Amino acid sequence: MIIKSQKNVSCRSIVVMRISGLSVIVLLGMLGCIKAPEYPDEPELTYEGLSSNRMIQSDLNLDSTILFLSFTDGDGDVGTDTEVNLFVTDTRDDFVAARYRLPFIPVAGSNNGVSGDIQLVLFTTCCTYPNGQAPCTPSEEFPSDTVIYEIYMMDRAGNISNKVLTDPIILDCR
């Protein structure tokens, strides 16, 4: 009787193992059917925020804030080893205040869509004054200035992303 009982336990273990193995195969098959996200071939930026919305004016990079962005690109051709491909423009005068080179992301497989996060250090800039006072000079008459940056990127195929704006950044002009 003891031997028969052990035999039944063994058969049950084999059945459970076969069902478990079949479950794993079905689960893997279902995961293989999940579609990769579909993004447009043009890069798309999303503004996520700033680490600080206040800086002290300077022309010597004495203050900074961190800009947080996220991006998607449908064909995955983001970044380069040699060219700048992310641009930050000061909306007060349309001056391109900074240019960055995003690192090369290799294209792999048939579904090449890529997404990621970008963190950039934005160094402070000078206050500009409506009365013609020289930029970056202290001013009691105009103790603060506001700057908003516009950011866009370009992929290796030359596709240009949408343009995003930062929240206003207050510059201390004193």
Q: Do residue 25 and residue 48 come from a single domain?
A: no
The domain of 4 spans: 1-34
Q: Do residue 110 and residue 155 come from a single domain?
A: yes
CA–CA distance, 88 with 83 (Å, rounded to integer) = 15
Residue 52 domain-assigned?
yes
pLDDT tens, residue order, the chain (174 aa) = 333 333 344 444 444 434 444 444 444 444 455 555 688 999 999 999 999 999 999 988 999 999 999 999 998 899 999 999 999 999 999 999 999 999 998 877 656 789 999 999 999 999 999 999 999 999 999 999 999 999 999 999 999 999 999 999 999 999
Residue 88 domain-assigned?
yes
For 105, counting Cβ atoms within 10 Å of its Cβ (0-12 exposed, 13-18 middle, 19+ buried), the class is middle
Residue 136: what pLDDT? 94
* CATH code of the domain covering residue 160: 2.60.40
Residue 39 domain-assigned?
no
Q: Do residue 21 and residue 53 come from a single domain?
A: no
Q: Do residue 52 and residue 71 come from a single domain?
A: yes
Residue 98 domain-assigned?
yes
Q: Do residue 85 and residue 25 come from a single domain?
A: no
Q: Do residue 13 and residue 51 come from a single domain?
A: no
Q: Do residue 30 and residue 9 come from a single domain?
A: yes
Edge-to-edge strand order for the sheet containing 169-172?
54-56, 169-172, 144-147
Q: Do residue 18 and residue 48 come from a single domain?
A: no
Distances 65 to 49, 54, 60, 68, 127 between C-alpha atoms, Å: 10, 8, 14, 10, 16
Domain count, the chain: 2
Residue 110: what pLDDT? 58
Residue 109 domain-assigned?
yes
Residue 56 domain-assigned?
yes
Residue 113: what pLDDT? 87
Residue 16: what pLDDT? 40
Residue 38: what pLDDT? 82
Mapped onto helix, strand or coil, the DSSP state of residue 10 is helix
Q: Do residue 114 and residue 135 come from a single domain?
A: yes
Q: Do residue 89 and residue 65 come from a single domain?
A: yes
Q: Do residue 85 and residue 105 come from a single domain?
A: yes
The pTM for the full model equals 0.77
CA–CA distance, 165 with 69 (Å, rounded to integer) = 11
Q: Do residue 8 and residue 83 come from a single domain?
A: no
